[in-house]
Every structure is written in C-alpha cells, then in structure tokens.
Amino acid sequence: MIDIEKIRRNPEKFREAIKNKRVPLDLDELLQIDQERRRLTDLVNRLRQERNRLSQLVAHGAAPRDENIAAARQLGEQLSADETALAEVEQRCAQLMAIAPGLPVEGVPLGETDKENVEIRRHGDCAARPNWFRDHLEIGKMHRMIEFDGARLIAGSRAYALQGAGVMLEMAVLRFALDQLVAKNFVPVCPPLLVRHEAMYGTGYFPLGDDNAYEFERDKLYLTGTSEVGTVAMHMNKIFDCADLPQRFAGISACFRREAGAAGKDTRGLYRVHQFQKVEQVVFCENDEELSAKIHYELLQNAEDILRALELPYRVVAVCTGDMGLGQVLKHDIETWMPSREAYGETHSCSSFHDFQARRLGIKYRDADERKKFVFTLNNTAIASPRILIALLENHQNEDGSINVPFALRPYLGQRSRLELP
C-alpha cells in the first residue's frame, strides 16, 4: 500500500512508475476519487456534528421543538444519502489504491520484459556440452529420481514426484541452504501454507496476482506461492522495538502456483511446475532507504554464496521496471546455468519493498523517540527446488551416468562424493 499523501505530492513520479511497471491504473481517476472522498468525508463529518447538535436540543426539549425534530429528520435523510455515497467512493478508492505501485529506486533499468534485464556479473564457467550429455530428465530417470507418469496420473499436467536419491538430494540442498542462513542468525520458520486473503493482499500478491493462486473457496483460504507470504503476514499489526530490528527469518515451506498463462512455455521437465519447495530469506528493518539497500545486497550475497558452494555457474541481473512486481522498488534475479536450455534460468529473486507490505499489514516499530513507523521489508530466495536440481544434475553429471556431489552437500548425503547409478 502506498501513502496517498505521497501520490498527492508527487503525481508525476507515480504516473511514470505506472507506465514503466505496466500497471493498469488510471492515476487521474484515483486523484479525482481521492478528492471526492475527502470532500464527502468533510461533508459527512459536518452533518454528523449538526445532527448531534439537533439531537441534543430535542432531547432537552429546547424550543422550537417541532422545528428541531423536523430539521433533524431532514438532516438524517441527507446524511444517510451522503454516507452511502461516501462508502461507494471509499470502496472505489480502495480498489484503485490496491494497485498503486511502489516507486522504483534510482538506477533501476527501464524495460518492458525480462529480455531487458541488465546483467551485472557472472560467476563460473559454462562448459560446452559433451556429446554424451544428458538433460535432467534423462539423468534423473537413469537414477530413478524422478517419476512423472504416476504423478500426472493422479495430479495432472506438470505434476512430478521425487523418489530415492532425488528426495535425498533435494533434502540435502534445502537443509544446506537453511543451515547457511541459521549460521547468519536467521530464525527458521515453517509458516502456514493456507492463508487468508489478507495475507495474500498484504504481501502484494493480490489483487494483480490472484490468477496464479490456488483458492479454497469454501474455506476462503489460499495456498501460498512462496514462504514469504506466511513469514511476513504472520506479523500483521505487530509493533517491534527499534532495538530488535532488523528481524531476519528463513521461511521454509512447500509452495504452489498455477503458473497461469505459462502453458506451453518452459513446461518440459522440472523447470516450471505447480508445486515446489523453497527456503526464503525475509527481513524486517528500520524505515531507512540506505539500510534497506545494504541489507538487499547482503541477501543477494547470501544466495550467491550458496550457489558458489554448490559449484554452479550463475549470473546476476538487475531487473527492469516492466519485470518488477507491484510493490517492489529494487529487484535482482540470479540465473543459474542450465546446459539443456543452453541458457541461464532464473533460480533466485531478491526484492526490496520499502514500506509497501508493512502498510498493508500494519507492521510497525517504535523508533528511539517512541514514534511509530512502518518497517521496511525485503526477501530473497535462498534455494528453490526442484528447479535447482536441473542445474545440479546437468552440471555435475559424468559420462558413466554418475553425478558428482558438491563438497558442501556431502555431509547431508552420507559423505558420498558421487551418486552412482542404481
């Protein structure tokens, strides 16, 4: 949620953000509705005061009593009509404010799609594929790690099941990432997977992303698409002490996304699936843009450290305005090399929101002067599976079909240096 006062003071900045983020918001309508809302609010407040004054006169029998009663009745009818009009205007204003975007910080590249994201750096060599190369589906089936037929029989398209060494490898990756964050004082959290509308709205995934969420209409609950949702929203209406900030959390959960509009795109294998596992970095910090930027790059470095430990080539890109989410003000993606795609594939997203989520959820802190302020929120993937398994299987395979285990994962896999064919 954006502070409406900021929009009033800087309409051109928001007009630019609406255009660059490709948000379907008519700013002129919002400003007109806001003006009408303020006019009606003042009018209704004045009418209520006058109604109360007349009610006191009638109650005390002040003369002329009949005229006071008639005036009170007439005023009540007018007040009722104006209150109805105000409620309608407030509802429309809330609908428009729900899609008011966060302002990208200085330096965010302009662009419409991910094709215009700007590469910042690369790490590791993307070796040419040998003639014996196998993609993750082939090598995974050779190791009996991945089961598609049975999974799709019971769950439909883009369903999969991991089994055997596939399960152990995924658990090793998730636990390694979690341990790395815990060592850096992140508090591990297993948040709710089913959440109310307020949680999805508050974290910015509604209203523009509601077509990607699985809804349980009877229960009025939604499956979350990232552990960020529950980890952030469970602090709704909380007030932190300044001394307790920043708060660092490592959310770990299953995640669910419809991937609406992605039919026929990246749907082969494990790249784009409906269900996956994720460890997410989440931070609440003071309302300070410089501090937020510092933490943003710390979260980015944490993810890079994990990928380096997994001995995987990757690149970091600055995400352009058109590829950013509604509330994001700064975003970087990390893309890991996937030989079967002959390209880097997105595996991590690092996002700063400033107070966008906190305003929607009412998350505040008391500063040194006991003033209440909204916190700033940030998040970044630590690891997400099974997409990361594509890179692990394809980059670490050997000609004989075995798979090299990165040194960092060996303690989680019985100190094995290779996964041999069964």
Please indicate, yes or no, whether residues 255 and 399 belong to a single structural domain of this protein. yes
* CA distances for 146 relative to 138, 160, 164, 167, 185, angstroms: 9, 7, 9, 9, 34
Please indicate, yes or no, whether residues 128 and 261 belong to a single structural domain of this protein. yes
Please indicate, yes or no, whether residues 266 and 146 belong to a single structural domain of this protein. yes
- Would you say residue 249 has pLDDT above 60? yes
Candidates 349, 351, 352, 385; catalytic one: 349
Q: How much is the pLDDT for 70?
A: 80
Q: How much is the pLDDT for 73?
A: 83
- The total domain count for the chain is 2
Split at pLDDT 50, 70, 90, the class of 264 is: low
Asked whether residue 78 is assigned to any structural domain, the reply reads: yes
Q: Residue 8: which CATH number?
A: 1.10.287.40
- Expressed as residue numbers, the domain containing 302 is 114-419
- Would you say residue 122 has pLDDT above 60? yes
What percentage of the chain carries pLDDT values higher than 90? 89
Asked whether residue 130 is assigned to any structural domain, the reply reads: yes
- Specify whether 92 is catalytic: no
- Specify whether 351 is catalytic: no
Q: How much is the pLDDT for 54?
A: 83
Q: pLDDT digits over 33-68, tens only?
A: 999 999 999 999 999 898 888 888 877 777 687 777
Q: How much is the pLDDT for 109?
A: 98
Please indicate, yes or no, whether residues 249 and 222 belong to a single structural domain of this protein. yes
- Specify whether 346 is catalytic: yes
Candidates 272, 308, 410, 416; catalytic one: 272
Q: Compute the distance between CA of residue 355 and CA of residue 285 in angstroms, rounded to an integer.
A: 10
- Specify whether 51 is catalytic: no
Asked whether residue 105 is assigned to any structural domain, the reply reads: no
Asked whether residue 224 is assigned to any structural domain, the reply reads: yes
DSSP class of residue 278?
Answer: E
Split at pLDDT 50, 70, 90, the class of 89 is: very high
Candidates 158, 253, 387, 394; catalytic one: 387
Q: How much is the pLDDT for 273?
A: 95
416 burial type by CB count under 10 A (0-12 exposed, 13-18 middle, 19+ buried): middle
Q: How much is the pLDDT for 262?
A: 62
What percentage of the chain carries pLDDT values higher than 70? 98
Q: How much is the pLDDT for 169?
A: 98
Candidates 346, 351, 385, 394; catalytic one: 346
Q: Is there a cis peptide before residue 64, judged by omega within 30 degrees of 0?
A: yes
- Specify whether 196 is catalytic: no
Overall average pLDDT of the 415-422 stretch: 96
Q: How much is the pLDDT for 261?
A: 63
Q: Compute the distance between CA of residue 270 and CA of residue 361 in angstroms, rounded to an integer.
A: 34
Q: How much is the pLDDT for 303?
A: 98
Which residue, 69, 97, 125, sits at the end of a domain? 97
Asked whether residue 108 is assigned to any structural domain, the reply reads: no
Q: Compute the distance between CA of residue 334 and CA of residue 321 in angstroms, rounded to an integer.
A: 16
Tell me the DSSP string of 104-152. PPTTPPP-SSGGG-EEEEEES--PPPPTT---HHHHHHHTT-EE-HHHH
Please indicate, yes or no, whether residues 74 and 146 belong to a single structural domain of this protein. no
- Would you say residue 138 has pLDDT above 80? yes
Q: How much is the pLDDT for 265?
A: 57
* Structural contact between residues 212 and 259, judged by C-beta atoms closer than 8 angstroms: yes
Asked whether residue 19 is assigned to any structural domain, the reply reads: yes
Q: pLDDT digits over 329-383, tens only?
A: 999 999 999 999 999 999 999 999 999 999 999 999 999 899 999 999 999 999 9
* CA distances for 341 relative to 144, 214, 346, 395, angstroms: 22, 29, 12, 12
* pTM over cut 0.85: yes
Q: Which two tokens stand for residue 206?
A: 């509604």
Q: Residue 215: which CATH number?
A: 3.30.930.10
Q: How much is the pLDDT for 339?
A: 96
Q: How much is the pLDDT for 259?
A: 84
Candidates 257, 340, 352, 385; catalytic one: 257
Q: pLDDT digits over 143-202, tens only?
A: 999 999 999 999 998 999 999 999 999 999 999 999 999 999 999 999 999 999 999 999
